[in-house]
Structure 1
Amino acid sequence: MKRIFLIGYMGSGKTTLGKAYSQACGLEFIDLDWYVEGRMHKTINELFAEKGEQGFREIERAMLHEVGEFENVVIACGGGTPCFFDNMPYMNSVGTTVFLDVDPEVLFRRLKIAKMKRPLLADKTDDELTETINSALSQRLPYYLQAKYHFNAEQLESHRQIERSVKLLDQLLNNQTI
Structure 2
Amino acid sequence: MQPIFLIGYMGSGKSTVGCHLAAITGLRFIDLDNYIESRYHATVRELFDRHGEEGFRLREQAMLHEAGEFEDVIIACGGGTPCFFDNMEWMNAHGTTVLLDVDIDRLHERLLRGRHKRPLIASKSDDELRRFIVEALAARMPHYEKADRRFKADRLDNEQEKAVTARRFAEFLQLPTITDSHD
Is the structural similarity TM-score above 0.5? yes
- Equivalent residue number for residue 100 of structure 1: 100
- Equivalent residue number for residue 118 of structure 1: 118
Give the whole-Å Cα distance in 2 for the aligned partners of 1:29 and 1:77: 11
What's the C-alpha RMSD, in Å, of the aligned pairs?
0.9
* Structure 1 residue 157, shift from structure 2 partner: 0.8
Does the aligned pair in 1 maintain the 2:6–2:97 contact within 8 Å? yes
- Equivalent residue number for residue 47 of structure 2: 47
Helix, strand or coil for the counterpart of 1:174?
coil
Matches within 5 A, 1:67-146: 67-146=67-146
**Structure 2 unaligned blocks of 5 or more:** 176-183
* Structure 1 residue 142, shift from structure 2 partner: 0.8
Give the whole-Å Cα distance in 2 for the aligned partners of 1:104 and 1:33: 23
Give the whole-Å Cα distance in 2 for the aligned partners of 1:159 and 1:47: 33
- Equivalent residue number for residue 154 of structure 1: 154
Give the whole-Å Cα distance in 1 for the aligned partners of 2:34 and 2:46: 13
Give the whole-Å Cα distance in 2 for the aligned partners of 1:132 and 1:44: 20
The superposition leaves residues 125-169 of structure 1 with CA deviations (integer Å, 9 ceiling, x where unpaired) of 111111110111000011111111100000111111111111211
Task: Provide the identity percentage.
Answer: 53
- Equivalent residue number for residue 56 of structure 2: 56
Give the whole-Å Cα distance in 2 for the aligned partners of 1:56 and 1:155: 32
- Equivalent residue number for residue 32 of structure 1: 32
**Structure 1 unaligned blocks of 5 or more:** none
TM-score of the aligned structures, taking structure 1 as reference length: 0.96
Helix, strand or coil for the counterpart of 2:173?
helix
Helix, strand or coil for the counterpart of 1:38?
helix
Does the aligned pair in 1 maintain the 2:11–2:110 contact within 8 Å? yes
Give the whole-Å Cα distance in 2 for the aligned partners of 1:149 and 1:69: 20
- Equivalent residue number for residue 163 of structure 1: 163
Give the whole-Å Cα distance in 2 for the aligned partners of 1:120 and 1:147: 25
**Structure 1 runs, 4 residues or longer, greater than 2 Å off:** none
Give the whole-Å Cα distance in 2 for the aligned partners of 1:43 and 1:128: 26
TM-score of the aligned structures, taking structure 2 as reference length: 0.94
* Structure 1 residue 2, shift from structure 2 partner: 3.6
